[in-house]
Structure 1
Amino acid sequence: MLSFYLIWSLSYFALLGYLSRFGKSHKIDFSSIHSFSPLVTLVIPFRNEKGNIPNLLVNLKKLQYPNLEVLLIDDHSEDDSSEILIEENLPGISILCSPALGKKGAIEFGVQQAKGNIIICSDADCNFGERWIEGMIQPFSNPIIQLVAGPVLVQNEGGFLGEFQLLDWASIVLTTSYSFTRNNPLMCSGANLAYRKEAFEQVQGYEGNRHLSSGDDEFLLKKIYKTYGADSCAYSTSPQVLVCTKPEPTWRALIQQRVRWASKWKAHSSFIHSSSAIAALLTQVLWLGSFYLLAFGFKGMLVFGGIWLIKVCAEIYSLGKVLKSFSRVPDISAVLRVSLLHPFYVLRVALGALRGKFTWKGRENCRSVNLEPEI
């Protein structure tokens, strides 16, 4: 038992060290980019985002891309989100109400209405840079590319919960970057995603998974990957295309969000995706199992302390490398606490996903909602 965990911890360190090679960012030199400015449609679905509308408008106003259409799609908000947007009456921005219920229905409606050949998606609570659009569309100058995913991190608003989410998102960026580099993408975020309208239509959008409340990003990625091949999907690690989303305000909200994301695991037909999810869970179970070492007396306590020190060092190194590439400085004390808490958090999310019950945007599991778009 003691030898197993020593080997396990060293293997974990080696694995994260290897993965960290794929977490480096690469800056875009816009001055060297050849002219490529197709008509782009930015589609942002929203629901009950009254508090985020002012910041969203600030972000939209600072975008410099000249050939841009913006469609804000209301997913049947129950607050004054649409009214506030309509009162602003900003040129180039259209506010539409989705005829279907659910985020996927709103996006499909937005894509149907879009005039642009390239669709870019984000969320209403996100921040993006003034040259975000230009950076995200550059890979499309290669006609082979059908989908481009970009990095997402949470805004650093302080506090342990915020630090926890920042490090959690850094691990997502690391895993995503690695999977794209290996030409077998596992995930992406709908908060920073671009694709050709023609490709979306070719794979029939969310046909086959509209009934699921999440997966507007991953299912589309899988369908485009399967239809067009590994070379059709790209991941940009440039800081200029980084999108920052608001952290969840409470632990309960965070758990609900992650349960919603994880609850679609049964719907994935990919063996690699399913096995990767199971491997990630088993990894955390092994770390939790290490507490049994304490039953071996003083020697067991030494091994327990040693392997957790190795775990913390591995995560400081790998996740810190990701954050530094986006000009974020990790809080070492926060990494220590996150490292200790993370296995319990993953197990809690996994159990919630198995139950399949969660609340999102005021909708209880979306079971009472007909998610089939009436388009």
Structure 2
Amino acid sequence: MLSFYLIGAFVYCLFLVYLRVKWISAAAQDRYFDPPQLTASLLIPVRNESPNLDRMLCFLGKIEEELEEIIFIDDQSEDDTFERLQELIKNRKSYKLIRSTGSGKKAALQSGVAAANTDLILTSDADCQWRSTWLEQMKAPFSDSSIQLVAGPVLTEGDDGFLADFQLLDWASILLLTGFSFVKKKPLMCSGANLAFRKSAFLKVGGYAGNEHWLSGDDEFLLKKIHQFFGKESTHYQFKKEALVRTQSEPTWKAFFNQRIRWAGKWRAHPSFSHLGASLAVMAMQFFWIASFFLLLEGAWGWIVFFLIWLLKCLGEYYSLERVLEHYGEKSKKIHLFGTSLFHPFYSLRIGFGAIFGNYSWKGRSIRGNVNFEVNGTDRRGI
């Protein structure tokens, strides 16, 4: 058993090195795109976002001149979001505020796409920050007529505590796997906080038809549909730091777990073997690390092997994740990175079981198994 764990930890580290090398190689490639002559709309769904409105509009001021439209879609807010936003944007001609024709983020985005009068659609969230270079970098790949969707990087911002750093490192791991999957032409995921696509492609694949009842996944489901319909050259990942979008970290562990369970809860809806295989591999690896605590029952050599494999894990993750953060001008505290390496397997299993069995609330909505009952009305988790 000792040899099994040593070999397993060594293979894990080699895999991280492989991911790092491929990711850095892709990020270093400076593919040139001619500036596309395409119009663009930015869609931002809002639900109970009143505290974020002033901050959001401040950052939008950096990019508003390059956009034909900025469309806010109110998703049945229960606070004064709609009224406050209506007042704040009344003198801004390119800004529009509409009400969603349905319930949930997908319905809001569907309403926004229908209202948009441009070639390109960009999506983001109300708690995000955008650089002045963001729009240029996200539009550039569309000068290639074969590209239908562009995904961009997202990282959190927050205080200096462990929770904020844990989320930052978790996002770094997401960026590592996301970029790698795009390089391999088998994209696994993307984030709706930093996404762009042709409106014509969205309409061609039927938008979110077929997965409306899943609360989360507007980004991933659309990515998979476009990739399957238009082919492996139709999706592109923008590695450049100028395309980075910042999003606020969750303030509490409870809010963070609810967010991640919501994201993970759509695993049932993915029919692809690659997505299922990746999910199972991640879960199996977490069991591997947690089961390694039984090594402590194996005497002195068990203790030595236990500390050695966890040291390999921490060093491998530091070597790969810290490089991703450096690419975007970020870094984490080393003590937080090692703490994250130790805690992450338990966190992953908590999210995994929560996605299968958990009931939770999100922005005032009661959710079971990631199904939006306000849209669907019945438990469709078996679909």
Give the shorter-chain TM-score range: over 0.9
Residue 171 of structure 2 is aligned to residue 166 of structure 1: no
| Identical counterparts, % of pairs | 45
Match of 1:53? 53
Which of 187, 190, 202 aligns to 1:188? It is 190
Q: Is the CA contact (8 Å cut-off) linking 1:26 and 1:239 kept in structure 2? A: no
The residue correspondences of 1:60-79 to structure 2 (distance < 5 A) are 60-63=60-63, 65-79=65-79
Distance 2:258 2:324 in 1: 26
2:357 match: 355
User: Does 2:346 match 1:341?
Assistant: no
Aligned position for 2:374: 369
Q: Name the aligned partner's letter for residue 120 of structure 1.
A: L
- Letter paired with 1:161: L
2:113 to 111, 114, 126: 111
The correspondence of residues 248-263 of structure 1 with structure 2, limited to 5 A, is 248-263=250-265
Q: How many residue pairs are counted as aligned between the two chains?
A: 370
Q: What is the SS of the residue equivalent to 1:71?
A: strand
- The CA deviation string for residues 38-83 of structure 1, in whole angstroms up to 9 with x for no partner, is 1101011010011111111011111165342110100011111122
Change (3 A) 1:253 1:14: same
| TM-score normalized with structure 2 length | 0.94
How much has 1:34 moved relative to structure 2? 3.7
Question: Aligned ranges for residues 29-178 of structure 1 at < 5 Å?
Answer: 34-63=34-63, 65-88=65-88, 89=90, 90-178=92-180
Matched-pair contact (CA < 8 Å) for 1:101–1:371: no
Aligned AA (2:119):
N
C-alpha distance in 2, partners of 1:190/1:57?
19
More displaced stretch, 64-73 vs 232-241: 64-73
- In structure 2, give the amino acid aligned to 1:9: A
Aligned to 2:293: 291
After TM superposition, the runs of 4+ consecutive aligned structure 1 residues lying more than 6 A away are none
Give how far 1:190 is off: 0.5
CA displacement, residues 96-122 of structure 1 (integer Å, 9 cap, x when unaligned): 111111000000000011001100000
Aligned to 1:237: 239
Pair 307,57 (structure 1): closer, same or farther in 2 beyond 3 Å: same
Paired residue for 1:318, among 312, 317, 320?
320
CA distance in 2, matches of 1:183, 1:274: 17
Supply the AA of the counterpart residue of 2:193: A
Displacement of 1:329 in angstroms is 1.6
2:155 partner SS: strand
Q: CA deviation at 1:27?
A: 8.9
Find the aligned partners of 2:209 and 2:234 in 1 and give their Cα distance: 20
Quote the Cα distance in structure 2 between the aligned partners of 1:285 and 1:299: 21
Q: Give the direction of change, closer, same or farther, for the CA distance of 1:146–1:35 in structure 2 (3 Å limit).
A: closer
1:28–1:240: 8 Å Cα contact kept in structure 2?
A: no
SS in 2 for 1:23: helix
Higher RCO by CA contacts (8 Å cutoff, separation 6 or greater):
1
Deviation per residue, 1:1-41 (Å, 9 max, x gap): 10011111111110001101233345979xx8644241101
1:336 and 1:131 map into 2 onto residues whose CA distance is 33
Cα deviation, 1:220-270, whole Å, max 9, x if unaligned, reads 000000100010000001101101111111111111111111111111010
Q: Whole-Å Cα distance in 2 between the matches of residues 146 and 95 of structure 1?
A: 26
In structure 2, give the amino acid aligned to 1:77. S
Give me the whole-angstrom Cα distance separating, in 1, the residues matched to 2:294 and 2:67: 60
Unaligned runs of 5+ residues in structure 2 are 378-383
User: Deviation of residue 128 (structure 1)?
Assistant: 1.0
Q: Do the aligned residues in 2 keep the contact of 1:150 with 1:193 (CA within 8 Å)? A: yes
Query: Could you tell me whether the CA contact under 8 Å between 1:152 and 1:191 is conserved in 2?
Result: yes
Assess if the C-alpha contact under 8 Å between 1:27 and 1:238 holds in 2. no
